[in-house]
C-alpha cells in the first residue's frame, strides 16, 4: 500500500511540503487505513511550528492510498472467485 498525490501519482514522503489554504505545511507522519472503509490520516506541521502538528484525512492534502490489500474489489486482477 502506498500513499500518492491524486493529481500527479507521486508518492507522499515524510518532509514533503504541501499547501493547505495557501500556506506551506510539512508532512510529519501518516497512518495507513485501519479498515477497508477508512482513508487513513496524515499529520502536517505549519512552517517552523514545533510539536506534532495537526492530523487530517489524506484527501485534505490531495492524496490517496493505492494498491490496498484490504480492498480487493478495487483491484479485480487480484480477485480469485470460487463458485464451487
pLDDT for 79:
47
User: Do the Cβ atoms of 30 and 39 come closer than 8 Å?
Assistant: no
Strand 41-46 to 23-31 pairing: antiparallel
Q: Which residues contact 61 (CB under 8 A, 6 or more apart)?
A: 5, 12, 18, 20, 25, 27, 42, 44
User: Do the Cβ atoms of 75 and 17 come closer than 8 Å?
Assistant: no
pLDDT tens string 50-77:
666 889 999 999 999 988 777 665 555 5
Q: Whole-prediction pTM value?
A: 0.74
**Can you tell me the mean pLDDT for 29-39?**
87
Bigger pLDDT: 67 vs 4 = 4
Domains of the chain, each with CATH number or no CATH:
2-78 (2.30.30)
The percentage of residues in the chain with a pLDDT greater than 70, rounded to a whole number, is 76
pLDDT for 8:
94
Amino acid at each position: 500500500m502506498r500513499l500518492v498525490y491524486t493529481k500527479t501519482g507521486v508518492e507522499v514522503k515524510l518532509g514533503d511540503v504541501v499547501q493547505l489554504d495557501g500556506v506551506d505545511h510539512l508532512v510529519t507522519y501518516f497512518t495507513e487505513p485501519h479498515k477497508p472503509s477508512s482513508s487513513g490520516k496524515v499529520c502536517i506541521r505549519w512552517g517552523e511550528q514545533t510539536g506534532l502538528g495537526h492530523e487530517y484525512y489524506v484527501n485534505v492534502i490531495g492524496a490517496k492510498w493505492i494498491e490496498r490489500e484490504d480492498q480487493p474489489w478495487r483491484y479485480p486482477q487480484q480477485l480469485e472467485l470460487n463458485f464451487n
